[in-house]
Amino acid sequence: METLVLSDIGSGLTASRPQLRRLLKLVCEGNVAEVAITDEDRLTRFGHEYIETLFACFGVTLTVLEPGDGKPPEQELTEDLLALIASFSGRLYGMRSHKQKALAQCAQAILASP
C-alpha cells in the first residue's frame, strides 16, 4: 500500500486547508486505510470526535503518534482559548489590512485623476 504524506500550514480552526480537504475526500472515496497524526489537534483544533466518527464510518484507523501528555483540563482549556483568540485576531487584522489596501488604492485613483 502506498504511503501519502499530507501537510498544511495553517490554523487547526480553519476548514479551508487544501490538504485536509484532500484527505477527507480520499477517506470518503475509500482510498485510505489509516491516518497517522503527530498530535490529536493536528487535523482540527475542535471537533476531533467528528473526524474520528467519520473515519470509523469508512473503516479508517486514526493513529495518534504522540497521545495527550496528561495535561490538566484547565491547561487544555487555556490553550484552546488562546488558540481561538490568536485565530480571530489574525482574521481581524487580515480584514483591516485588506480594507486599508482598498482605501489606499481608492485614494491613489482619486489623486491620479485631474
pTM: 0.58
Average pLDDT (47-71) is 86
Query: Confidence band (pLDDT; 50, 70, 90) for 69?
Result: low
Q: What's the domain range around 83?
A: 71-114
Residue 48 pLDDT class (50, 70, 90 cuts): confident
48 and 60 belong to one structural domain: yes
Distance CA 23, CA 31 (A): 9
- pLDDT band with cut points at 50, 70 and 90 for residue 26: very high
Q: Are residues 2 and 57 in the same domain?
A: yes
Do 13 and 43 lie in one domain? The reply is: yes
Q: Compute the distance between CA of residue 27 and CA of residue 39 in angstroms, rounded to an integer.
A: 19
Total of domains in the chain: 2
